[in-house]
Amino acid sequence: MGAVKTKFRTRLALRSRTHSRRRNIVEQLTRITNFRESEVKTWYRLFYADCPDGLLTEPVFVNFYVNFFQSGDEGRKIAMAKRIFHAFDRDGSGTVDFREYLTGMSALLRGSVVEKLKWAFNMYDLDGNGEISRLELHNVLKLILELRNPEATLDDLAALDRPIDRLCDRVFATLDKDRDGKLQIREFVEGVRMNPRVLCLSDEEELLASLTQVHSDTAHASSLVDFSTSRDSQS
């Protein structure tokens, strides 16, 4: 009988500590995010339903992202999912806890311009060293274009390297105030805030659209030729 009581008391103590921890987390995140307390509780319940140990791993996030977005090249979707996961994983531990997850979602969904730009900086900073290099900027911009244009061929995308290089030139000429070839977070946030179109991909997307259209028209013309040839051979 004594053993049963001890076990029961242990369970009550564990449950009490769990509730206390949850209450503290909810109160803290209600203060530091842009979500109401009821919303934080809902996010908490959903997060722990999928991640009972309180940690979201990269493979789980990547799998969810790839399955959620049905269209597009799987390799490119995996690459983008890893970039997004990296932006959430602020301490570089390889996992995302609830605090990291909700502060990231707060910035994305309800954050100020500065909060959104700080989050974006983490996505561009591929190696997590606190700076964005030209190569990092180029690689992420190209990946974004690839995902936005799933029908583009490898030749189409290869033709974008020069336009993206020109865009990188423009970005660094505008934002890299100390001319050290790197963008620190202050340069990035303040620069993009003051020049909101500096990262605009419209010119490159128009080029990609025209290249894709040429490819599509060529394929269509080829199919007409094949069709007319087959008819001639039958007559």
- What pLDDT, on a 0 to 100 scale, did the predictor assign at position 8? 47
C-alpha closest to that of 146 among 91, 75, 198: 75
User: What is the full per-residue pLDDT of the chain (235 aa) written as tens digits?
Assistant: 555 555 545 554 445 566 788 899 999 999 999 999 999 999 999 999 999 999 999 999 999 999 888 777 889 899 999 999 999 999 999 999 999 999 999 999 999 999 999 999 999 998 989 999 999 999 998 888 888 777 777 787 788 888 889 999 999 999 999 999 999 999 999 999 999 888 887 665 555 555 444 434 333 333 333 333 344 444 4
Q: Which of 111, 142, 171 is the last residue of a domain?
A: 111
Q: Which of 76, 111, 146 is the last residue of a domain?
A: 111
Residues making up the chain, counted from first to last: 235
- What pLDDT, on a 0 to 100 scale, did the predictor assign at position 154? 78
Residue 226 belongs to a domain: no
- Amino acid in position 10: T
Q: 10 Å Cβ neighbour count for 195?
A: 14
Alpha helix ranges (H) inside the chain: 2-32, 37-50, 58-68, 74-88, 98-110, 113-124, 134-148, 154-158, 161-175, 185-194, 202-234
- Are 105 and 176 members of one domain? no
Residue 230 belongs to a domain: no
- Are 83 and 122 members of one domain? no
C-alpha closest to that of 175 among 162, 191, 186, 164: 191
- Are 52 and 119 members of one domain? no
Residue 60 belongs to a domain: yes
Residue 155 belongs to a domain: yes
Give this prediction's pTM: 0.73
- Are 140 and 122 members of one domain? yes
- What pLDDT, on a 0 to 100 scale, did the predictor assign at position 5? 52
Residue 128 belongs to a domain: yes
- Are 29 and 88 members of one domain? yes
- Are 100 and 120 members of one domain? no
Q: Which of 87, 111, 135 is the last residue of a domain?
A: 111
- Are 150 and 202 members of one domain? yes
CA distance 195 to 28: 34
C-alpha closest to that of 48 among 98, 11, 109: 98
Residue 224 belongs to a domain: no
Residue 64 belongs to a domain: yes
- Are 18 and 105 members of one domain? yes
Q: Which domain holds residue 208?
A: 114-216
Are 147 and 201 a contacting pair, CB within 8 Å?
no
- What pLDDT, on a 0 to 100 scale, did the predictor assign at position 203? 61
CATH code, domain carrying 63 = 1.10.238.10
What's the total number of domains in the chain? Answer: 2
- Are 95 and 83 members of one domain? yes
